[in-house]
Amino acid sequence: MSASPDADEARRAHLNRILRRVAEGDEQAFSDFYKLTSSRVFAIVVRMTHDRSEAEDVLQNVYTNAWRRADTFHPERGSAMTWLVTLARNATIDRMRQRRESPLDEEQTAEIEDEAPTPEDVAQFSEERRRLEQCLEALDPKQGSAVREAFFSGATYAELAQRLRVPLGTMKSWIRRSLMQLKLCLER
């Protein structure tokens, strides 16, 4: 079953309302917010850290921060889910940057995952996500997978270059060119 745009919109509006109530200090709303979003957020953090126990620490931080900073959510600037995903990714990236001065070990280098979704996945996507997918697929395949890997891993340019075994300059120009093309495609 494909998600209908109406259902997407209703879910988004619902979550926005809940987060507004969280900002007013409503503990029940916060509990609902956690129930609705925590498995998605946990998946993001686990994917980035590759470490369940660390991911639990990050998740705990993300939600205590979400409660404290709920008043920084403005629906006109983006959805509640975008706000939360940003909070979670930022917390994870900051933590990884703090400690990841050492180069990636072999094990990590070996496990580059193929992130491109299957047609079945695409059928489940929201309209926004489908649109982004069309634009990602229009990129050169290697560059497209570098962009996906960057998002899901939270790695720096240098780490990505090492992981995908290309020179740093090449990685930078791949990503920068892809960003430009994505912008043009998404604004079309």
Partner 1 sequence: MNTPALSDDDLRCAEYALGVLDSDSRRALEREVLHNAALRATLDTWLARFAPLAEDLPGIEPPARVWTRVQRDLGFLPVPTKTPARGGWWNDVGLWRWFGIGASAAALVLLAVNLVTLRETQRTATVVAQDGYMVATIARSDGVAHWTATVDVRRARMVVVPAVHPQVAAGHSTELWLIPPGAKPVALGIVPTDAPASMPLSPRILAQMSTRAILAVSVEPQGGSPTGQPTGPVIATGMMHIA
Task: Report which of 23, 21, 62 is spatially closest to residue 40, judged by C-alpha positions.
Answer: 62
Find the binder of partner 1 among 151, 162, 166, 170 (CB under 8 A).
Answer: 151
Find the binder of partner 1 among 9, 71, 121, 137 (CB under 8 A).
Answer: 121
Q: Which is closer to partner 1, CB of 98 or CB of 119?
A: 98
Q: How far is CA 78 from CA 15, 16, 74, 75, 95, in A?
A: 12, 9, 7, 5, 24
Query: Count residues contacting partner 1 (CB under 8 A)?
Result: 69
- Does residue 55 contact residue 42 with C-beta atoms inside 8 Å? yes
Binding status of residue 20 toward partner 1 by CB under 8 A: no
Show the binding pattern over residues 32-71: x = contacts partner 1 (CB under 8 A), - = does not.
Answer: --x---xxx-xxx-xx---x-xxxxx-xxx-xxx-xxx--
Q: Find the part of the chain contacting partner 1 (CB under 8 A) among 16-24, 81-89, 103-111, 162-170.
A: 81-89
Find the binder of partner 1 among 79, 143, 144, 164 (CB under 8 A).
Answer: 79
Q: How far is CA 15 from CA 8, 20, 30, 70, 79, in A?
A: 11, 9, 11, 12, 8
Min separation Cβ 13 and partner 1, Å = 16
Amino acid at 153: S
Phi-psi region of 102 (alpha: psi -120 to 50; beta: other; left: phi over 0): beta
DSSP for 10-21, written as a single string:
HHHHHHHHHHHH
Min separation Cβ 31 and partner 1, Å = 8
172 by DSSP, 3-state: which?
helix
Give the integer Cα–Cα distance in Å for 136 and 148.
Answer: 9
Residues binding partner 1 (CB under 8 A): 27, 34, 38-40, 42-44, 46-47, 51, 53-57, 59-61, 63-65, 67-69, 77-79, 81-82, 85-86, 89-90, 93-94, 97-99, 115, 117, 121, 124-126, 128-129, 132, 147-148, 150-157, 160, 175-177, 179-184, 186
